[in-house]
Amino acid sequence: MTSLSRSEVVGAKRVVVKVGSSSISGANAGQIRPLVDALAAAHARGCEVILVSSGAIATGMPYLKLDARPTDLATQQAAAAVGQNVLIYRYQESLDRFDIVAAQVLLTAGDLENPTHRSNAQRAMERLLGLRILPIVNENDTVATHEIRFGDNDRLAALVSQLVRADLLVLLSDVDALYTRPPHEPGARRIDTVPFSDDLAGVEFGDIGSAGVGTGGAGTKVAAAKLAASAGTPVLLASTRDVRAALDGAILGTWFEAAPA
């Protein structure tokens, strides 16, 4: 099977889109609406869309009267349990404008490494997509500690793209692309395309995400992109504000080429 080329994005049949906490929580909660607009437009042209959304902890924080991301695991789990409910409500309320039904799918990376759990998850996802339901996937934070402690949902998104054999993985962030060094630093240059064989040895990774509520960075996104690309799924790293243009095939962000077939 030949992987999708950059010029064929608008024709992708199955796309996984991942959005981070800082892009859709707090002051940026309003970005859910344009994000849903973009997903609905792709859905309307027949694309099967899966959204991997971080943000449960960040969304739950105000309800626990927390001014900053909690540092202890129990409070992180409590914030996630409250925030996941609110987050899904916000997505469904926005999707109602397009008569699209969302499904909440809570997974851990471990679920996708366990053959039985993986098979069950794959079967459920295929059925949801067949019913034209839009799955919204998040880490099951109340039982899984890896995401809370060490990273964002980028790796989970890559594993989901493998699970559903996606044509494309779109990783959204506060930054519009991958740069040779943190984009606020002098001399930073945007990287347009990353060939599969490129190990990005000369790139200096900084954090992606500026709101202090997410845990991912450029390094986690590159690792996730490489993981997905190795399984044959190309990856586009782009800004959340550019998601509509990205899904419509505009040449923007950073394109990670998939492994040769």
Q: pLDDT tens across 238-258, in order? A: 999 999 999 999 999 999 999
- Sequence ranges of the binding site: 18, 54, 141, 153, 173-174
pLDDT more than 70, % of the chain = 92
- Sequence ranges of the binding site for substrate: 54, 141, 153
d(CA 100, CA 122): 21
pTM of the model: 0.92
Quote the crossing angle between the two packed helices 115-130 and 154-163, to the nearest 10°: 70
The CB-side HSE value for 29 (13 A sphere, CA atoms) comes to 16
The domains located in the chain, with CATH, are 6-256 (3.40.1160.10)
Q: How confident is the model at residue 104 (pLDDT cuts 50, 70, 90)?
A: very high
d(CA 208, CA 201): 18
The pLDDT assigned to 170 comes to 98
- Sequence ranges of the binding site for ATP: 18, 173-174
Q: How confident is the model at residue 213 (pLDDT cuts 50, 70, 90)?
A: very low
The pLDDT assigned to 212 comes to 45
Is 16 or 3 the better-scoring residue by pLDDT? 16
